[in-house]
Amino acid sequence: AFLGLAVINSPFGVIMTGVGIISLAGVVVNNAIVLIDYTNKLRNNGMGIREAVVAAGATRLRPVILTAVTTILGLLPMVTGISYDFHVMALSLSSESSQYWRTMAIVVIFGLMIATILTLVVVPTLYALIENSKLKMASGYSKTREFFLGPEQMDLT
């Protein structure tokens, strides 16, 4: 997000950059929650970790991409400064209102471009790593318990 401000050579405004970061966080967290929730539903239906992660990624790819693209396209007029005044029916290329919101739009656009890729790649990867480590720890726990208690006392829990 901050890289976008540097690339566009836009000043860092604390308030508008902060609003942009909060807006960006809302969209990104929502996408990640939807992806993880769908993966959990597939796992509850009996799919393995790898199959569920791949299927959820394939199923949720289009909605995540469409959310990012429509948000970016909706914010482009703010970044470019294009606005339309309906009172005088004129197109303006550098209005005051678009200049005020420009920093927020830049942060959200550049942040979404990076965060969308991370949501589709890093979130499923971390999900699979965490779930696999849970399974290995549970397996290691039961093997350790069996070693110390013996197989005949395993039914006491």
Residue 94 DSSP symbol = S
Answer whether residue 108 is part of any domain.
Answer: yes
Tell me whether residue 146 is in a domain: no
Range of the domain at 80: 2-131
CATH number, position 78 = 1.20.1640.10
pLDDT at 59: 94
pLDDT exceeds 70 at position 42 = yes
Number of structural domains found in the chain: 1
In a domain, 154, yes or no: no
CA 135 centroid distance within chain: 26
Which residues are CB-contacts of 60 (< 8 A; sequence separation ≥ 6)?
31, 34, 35, 38
Does 137 reside within a domain? no
Give the pLDDT confidence score for residue 73 in this predicted structure: 94
Residue 130: closest CA among 138, 119, 120: 138
User: How large is the average pLDDT for residues 14-21?
Assistant: 82
pLDDT tens per residue across span 96-107: 777 778 888 888
Residue 69 lies in a domain: yes
Q: Where are the alpha helices (DSSP H) in the chain?
A: 2-8, 14-44, 49-80, 96-149
Q: If you average pLDDT over every residue of the chain, what do you get?
A: 83
- Does some domain include residue 18? yes
Question: Per-residue pLDDT averaged across 103-121, rounded?
Answer: 90
pTM of the entire predicted model: 0.72
Residue 21 included in any domain: yes
Q: 157 lies in a domain? A: no
